Structure 1
Amino acid sequence: MNDVSRREASAYPFQSLFVPFPFVCFSLALGTDVAFWQTGDLMWQNFSAWLLFAGLVAGGLALLAGLIDLLRARTRPLRPSFLAIILFVVMLVLAFVNSLVHAGDGWTAVVPYGLLLSAVTFAVSLMAVTASTGKYARLAWRV
Structure 2
Amino acid sequence: MSRSIDYGNLMHEAMRGLIRKVLLDIADRGLPGSHHFFITFDTSHPDAELADWLSDRYPSEMTVVMQHWYDNLEVTDDGFKITLNFGDAPEPLYIPYDAIRTFVDPSVEFGLRFEQQETDEAEGGKDSDTLPQIDESELEVAEAPARDAEIVSLDSFRK
Q: Shared fold (TM-score greater than 0.5)?
A: no
Which structure is higher in RCO with an 8 Å CA cutoff and minimum separation 6? Answer: 1
More strand by share: 2
Larger radius of gyration: 2
